[in-house]
Amino acid sequence: MRPLALLLALSTAAALPSSAEELPVRTAPIEVLKSHHLAVRVKINGKGPYRMIFDTGAPITIISPEVARETGVVPRDAQPPPMALFNALGQFSMQRFEVGGQRADKIPAIVMDHPAVAVLSRGQGELHGIVGFSFFARYRMTLDYQAKQLSFTPNGYVPDDFLELMMAYMAAKKKPPPRLLDPAGMWGFAVSKADDDEEPGVIVDRVRPDTPAASAGLKVGDRLLTLDGAWTDSAADCHHAAGGVKPGIAAPLKIRRGGKEMTLMVTPRMGL
């Protein structure tokens, strides 16, 4: 048994072997529900039939806990853990899974009460789960709405276990570094302005070492007049102007130092 993970839909292309045309074609009747979903009759481990949604957008196959117990996919006394979402028991393998005349072995399935299936069951008759990618990826399929029939031609492809792929992806994926909205976190300096200061610009009162501002030569005590062409007559002006510059793009800072005006080019980095 493996823990249930959050599921994301995937689209995977399966190559059709050159000998596939010689393989037998199996068929299965389909039912078009009022909701325009497709339903098929399936057998699990020789028991059934059970009525399930056939969903070509579903990355996994889902069966209800009740059906899983009846068919021996899980023990009859299997119960979901406390506070389990949708009575989820986890992922298990169906030893034999049949849709119409097509049989596949060892199909992984999530055992849970899917809320969408429950909603459809109330208005369109009892449904027991969803047939998804773990089954249909093994075939080239033809859907005939007029004849209300699915046809299956084996393509020789056995899809990877979707849940295992998701768990591996989540374990390997590195979280991006958090970002600060404070411009000082991207530029490396902070400013202030006294209430009685009536001169244009703001005073640089802190420059962090090893930051873009420090590398550009900005110093404590400099009076910042404009940032990327925008006037900075208050700390709020400075934050607003700094927030409009994308990380990695050099921006001009016009400053006054020792009575002389000069321009420094600062390239802000991604927030830490």
Average pLDDT over residues 149-177: 76
Give the pLDDT score at 240: 84
Residue 174 or residue 93, greater confidence? 93
pLDDT in tens, 95-132: 999 998 899 999 999 999 999 999 999 989 999 999 99
User: Position of tokens 């130092």?
Assistant: 257
pLDDT surpasses 80 at 220: yes
Cis peptide before 49 (omega within 30 of 0): yes
Please give the single-letter amino acid code of residue 231: W
Please give the single-letter amino acid code of residue 39: A
Cite the beta strand spans of 5-138 per DSSP E: 26-29, 31-32, 38-44, 47-54, 62-63, 90-99, 102-111, 129-131
Provide the 10 A C-beta neighbour count for residue 198: 8
For 231, counting Cβ atoms within 10 Å of its Cβ (0-12 exposed, 13-18 middle, 19+ buried), the class is: middle
Highest mean pLDDT among 53-57, 128-132, 228-232: 128-132
Pairing, β 62-63 against β 47-54: unpaired
pLDDT surpasses 80 at 19: no
